[in-house]
Structure 1
Amino acid sequence: MKDLHSAFYENLPLLRDFTRLADPAQFSPMPDDWFLGVADIVDSTGEIARGRYKTVNTVGAAVISAMINAMGGKLFPYVFGGDGAAFAIPPSEIEAARDTLSAMRRWAEEEFSMPLRAALVSVADIRKAGRDLRVARFAPSSGVDYAMFSGGGLAWAEAEMKAGHHMIAPAEPGAQPDLTGLSCRWSNSPARHGQIVSLVVEPTASATERDFADLAQSVLSASEELERAGHPVPMNGPPMSWPPPGLDIDAHVSRNGRNLFLHKLVLLFQNLLIAILFKTSKKLGQFEPEHYRTMVSSNADFRKFDDGLKMTLDCDPATLRQIEHLLKEARGRGKIRYGLHVQDEAMMTCFVPSATRDDHVHFVDGASGGYAQAAAAMVR
């Protein structure tokens, strides 16, 4: 029989209306003895300026894919932040989380020369610091659901990590996290209605939960008027081209110590077969290309709550002006901080445990800086 305490997250209700997440009552307190893991890339803004944003996204998503594999099918809450990620696990999984974060730090440095910070902090310590950690489950489709966080605990843990507290040391040289399933062969999705807007909104210390909930509801109401609520990925999935963009990154992710050049050749051949399947819409065994493309769009995580509101929207100029007006008014009252970054395309980073099931995960961000650039604009 399952330990009901460890199955806390699995037992939470699934919400299917994203706008309901503006209501704080939809979030449940995390158990005191659970742990929060956080990781982010050191100087991600500088890495983006050097043209490495797809790599930044991949390393951030790799934290989640490595944890999913380490958990062996057990459900747990996680959130992708563009240049990093966060997750929560019960005490029984603390060693798996520590080993995974340790391996991730070593791998990111060796494979991409990209320093990664990582930390683990108990929920009890978060509450001792006067913050909270609450979680909800949002299901954008029948195939997947994503965690949403509130309470200020996630932001506090990230600040603690950046100050050097609760840090996880890198593993020994050569350590390899299990990144099976982390790959994205899609091209970027161009804006269809104006521009791709990456938005990060956070409450200030003077804002009550109700203040922020009201603002979030207003912003969501504006975005709901967009086609498909601003979903930046077309209904039949993003474009696909050959050779695929980011082949070099994919090769680094999946080579697992193999020769990089030879592994690229293998991936080129694999991707050619995949491109042909999608071009012809031919079934291969249980794999149905058209169904898969539709599920890619349905499963895409383009908006989230993680101690604030983050969205990547395909936004027309009038709606963008409306959203900016709401944000400027709330900032003028000292209730929020926010940042926007505008670009021409959206990109995806994908975790696909099986192409014949519907539980593949797709993280959406802006293609030229996205959430990381929006967050940088917020603090200027």
Structure 2
Amino acid sequence: MKDSDPGFYDRVPVTRDFLALSDPARFTPVPDGWIVGVADIVDSTGEIARGRYKTVNTVGAAVISGMINALGGQNFPYVFGGDGAGFAVAPEHEPKARTTLAALRSWAAAEFDIALRAALVPVSDLRAAGHDLRVARHAPSTGVDYAMFTGGGLAWAEAQMKAGRYEVPPAGPEAQPDLTGLSCRWSNSPARHGQIVSLVIQPTARATERDFADLAQSVLSAAEELERAGHPVPAGGPPMKWPPPGLALDAHVSRAGRNLAVRKAALLMQNLLIWLLFKTGKRLGGFEPGHYKTMVSRNADFRKFDDGLKMTLDCDDETLQRITRLLEDARGRGKVRYGIHSQHEAMMTCVVPAATRDDHVHFVDGASGGYAQAAAAMRG
């Protein structure tokens, strides 16, 4: 394994079969010379309790949007965690990652009065500490694929960040990350089968990789029996209203130092045009609204391996009880910690490089705290 190997991630195999990723053999070690980036919101549960769950998701997704733009669209592995994100980059991209994270920290404080912490950790350090970082790629559609992580290294990097190590200090107050494409214009998707369930499942130190793989396979098999495997976004795309519920957030995200009221007015008119296109189904140049909405649903990132398993499911009571029994049995044997949070709707935060292409990414979470609330309720 080369220390740098900038083309490593492009060679990682892409699979359409999510269940296959419960097998640890499907994951490839990240090169020793690479750098792990992690960021999350301080006291995200407190922010959610104050009704700022959409803001929390937006700031978490901004980490990924900022890195996508900083790297000019170059492939790199990343994962959205609800109130933060993790990623890995080749060593030559470390300066860009540091600059981007520093700008994001100052931007989150200035725009939203949110404390975002961030760290950059060498992969060699996490391996020296007895952990690993391995990655796989899952393609939910032909348009996009998402990274999956295992090995415990990402979780260790997050713990180091929370302990104040490897910190990326905030930039100056005028720093602006490039968040082109980050948007929040969709309305929430109501549960159609009972409730939207956010699940966070993590192996304990007593669990072998095979232990966790077997449990993940059982949980995923239970979820597969739900309609569309529990996909919380309708097949034809999420609802859209005008004015959009995320207008103020979009204005903060995209204003780049400009007047906020002027930016809101511009977005109001822009979103009116978009809403009319979706309402009428009319094409505009290379943009076809019906196809775009279908791809939004297909591209949605509603389940992931992130040093554990996270899912946002549209779930009936019977299936939730079945999954809970599996988790309780594993917890009783000291193999996992888990958290569950139920709510009525799912929400989506999007990164759209170009609306005429199919490579737009859509991060799904529960609409009243989701992954952050599930993590806060962890049992183990």
Q: TM-score of the superposition, structure 2-length normalised?
A: 0.99
Q: How many angstroms apart in 1 are the aligned matches of 2:263 and 2:121?
A: 38
The answer to whether 1:152 aligns with 2:141 is no
Q: How many angstroms apart in 1 are the aligned matches of 2:185 and 2:55?
A: 14
- How far did residue 174 of structure 1 move? 1.0
- How far did residue 97 of structure 1 move? 0.3
1:83 alignment partner AA: D
Q: What residue number does 2:143 align with? A: 143
- How far did residue 173 of structure 1 move? 1.1
Counting aligned pairs with the same residue, the percent is: 75
Q: What residue number does 1:328 align with? A: 328
Q: What residue number does 1:339 align with? A: 339
Q: What residue number does 1:26 align with? A: 26
Q: What residue number does 1:186 align with? A: 186
- The 8 Å contact of residues 182 and 351 in structure 2, kept in 1 or not, is answered as yes
Q: How many angstroms apart in 2 are the aligned matches of 1:85 and 1:296?
A: 20
1:31 alignment partner AA: P
Q: What residue number does 1:302 align with? A: 302
Q: What residue number does 2:80 align with? A: 80
Q: How many angstroms apart in 2 are the aligned matches of 1:250 and 1:340?
A: 29
- Aligned residue runs from structure 1 range 241-320, under 5 A: 241-320=241-320
- How far did residue 73 of structure 1 move? 1.9
**1:364 match: secondary structure:** strand
- Aligned residue runs from structure 1 range 87-166, under 5 A: 87-166=87-166
- How far did residue 4 of structure 1 move? 8.8
Off by >3 Å, runs of 4+ in structure 1: none
Q: What residue number does 1:15 align with? A: 15
1:348 alignment partner AA: M
- How far did residue 379 of structure 1 move? 5.5
**2:347 match: secondary structure:** strand
**2:377 match: secondary structure:** helix
Unpaired runs of 5+ in structure 2? none
Deviations 1:159-183 (A, max 9, x none): 0000000000000111000000001
Q: How many angstroms apart in 1 are the aligned matches of 2:200 and 2:344?
A: 18
- The 8 Å contact of residues 354 and 360 in structure 2, kept in 1 or not, is answered as yes
Q: What residue number does 2:45 align with? A: 45
Q: Residues 101 and 174 of structure 1: is their aligned pair in 2 closer, same or farther, counting only changes over 3 Å? A: same
Q: How many angstroms apart in 2 are the aligned matches of 1:379 and 1:36?
A: 27
**1:178 match: secondary structure:** coil
**1:54 match: secondary structure:** helix
2:148 alignment partner AA: M
**2:148 match: secondary structure:** strand
Q: What residue number does 2:210 align with? A: 210
Q: How many angstroms apart in 2 are the aligned matches of 1:190 and 1:73?
A: 32
2:21 alignment partner AA: L
Q: How many angstroms apart in 2 are the aligned matches of 1:290 and 1:47?
A: 35
1:266 alignment partner AA: A
Q: How many angstroms apart in 1 are the aligned matches of 2:280 and 2:74?
A: 36
Deviations 1:309-336 (A, max 9, x none): 0000000111001000000000000000
- The 8 Å contact of residues 231 and 314 in structure 2, kept in 1 or not, is answered as yes
Q: What residue number does 1:370 align with? A: 370
- How far did residue 246 of structure 1 move? 1.5
- How far did residue 184 of structure 1 move? 2.2
Q: How many angstroms apart in 2 are the aligned matches of 1:370 and 1:201?
A: 13
**2:241 match: secondary structure:** coil
1:149 alignment partner AA: F
Q: What residue number does 1:356 align with? A: 356
Q: What residue number does 2:61 align with? A: 61
Q: How many angstroms apart in 1 are the aligned matches of 2:184 and 2:251?
A: 11
Q: How many angstroms apart in 2 are the aligned matches of 1:4 and 1:200?
A: 32
Q: How many angstroms apart in 2 are the aligned matches of 1:296 and 1:338?
A: 29
**1:156 match: secondary structure:** helix
Q: How many angstroms apart in 2 are the aligned matches of 1:131 and 1:251?
A: 41
**2:149 match: secondary structure:** strand
Number of residue pairs matched?
A: 378
**2:170 match: secondary structure:** coil
- The 8 Å contact of residues 63 and 85 in structure 2, kept in 1 or not, is answered as yes
Q: How many angstroms apart in 2 are the aligned matches of 1:223 and 1:33?
A: 37
- How far did residue 262 of structure 1 move? 1.0
